[in-house]
Amino acid sequence: LPGWRWASLVTQNSKTSVYEEMRVINNATKLPKFDTILIDEAQDMADWQTNFIMLYCNTVAGICLAVGRGQELYGDSARPNQWLLDLKKSGAMEKDCRRNFRNTLPNFMFSRIFYEAFPKSEKISGILAKFQNKQLDLDFDRIDGGLPKRIFLDESTLPDMLDPCYPILQNELMTQACLDIIKDEYERLKDKHQPIDLLILVPDTKSTYHEWVIGALNRFNTDVGIGFTDYTKEDQRRVIAETGKLRITTFHSSRGLEGARVIVFGLEKLPILSRLIKFDVNKLAYIVLSRAVFDTTLVMRNLSNSEISQFVEMALYEINKLVEGQQKKVDSKPLAFYKIK
């Protein structure tokens, strides 16, 4: 669709002279012009943002948008933006692409269940039925990898919380536990991939998980000689990561990142975190759980009755039921406990 025509669709009803404003901006900034503009994740674009596309268009320009229906993270999927509705009415060429380029099928199933069903485990079978009756009929380029591995940190050997030494001992032992898990995941990764392909997620910068994992990564650098890119820091989020370093980010900031292997620390914090940052818990879960190309490792504290851990176990159980008899059974990588000692 020509850029000028698209811009006209979203500005024709404006009460202000948008074109005049854009001409002023363009003359002041001397922005570059392009014959072709590609926009990813366009389903999350607000109406007002489309006004600025014209600033970057040549007189004749083509615009290609990748729109993931139902994947709106910053909007309401039930109420698409007006610009998108207008674009569809304009006669723009549209092609339906039914392919998942990032995840294996088991990983996609798992993240999709959280997106559509959490915390109602009774809805899981209905979500999986969409895969059976082809409502979610996608092609998957990735064939290796299985369902997430679960590691619960068993803290039963720590002293009583009222013990004056508890905070120091907990920090030391948890940091060491995180280090051991990171080393193990790196060993699984290093023969086929670069350090950058191990992505590590923590709930936020205020959580104890962040403190433990940063401490573990510093020790990993000392022991193995491999550093890390810290995307949990605001001033580092636009830094291009080096292939020879691991990466760490928060749940909310992980969108747009991916790794061959992903470690998610503190998934049990998801409901509380979503309330604190005022972000939909299902959308946040989908972001977190869809970062892995092949394998995800979920690391949680030993809270067997937590809302998240129960939902995780039910989701993995139901996915394995679905794939049994249809294809080679998906490796669910049975539950493991890391004993703090």
Whether 248 has a pLDDT exceeding 70, the answer reads yes
Question: What percent of the chain has pLDDT above 70?
Answer: 77
Q: What pLDDT score was predicted for residue 142?
A: 63
| Cβ atoms 308, 216 nearer than 8 A | no
User: Tens digit of pLDDT for each residue in 120-158?
Assistant: 999 999 988 887 776 566 666 666 667 889 998 888 778
Distances (CA, A) of 46 to 50, 80, 90, 278, 286: 7, 10, 18, 19, 21
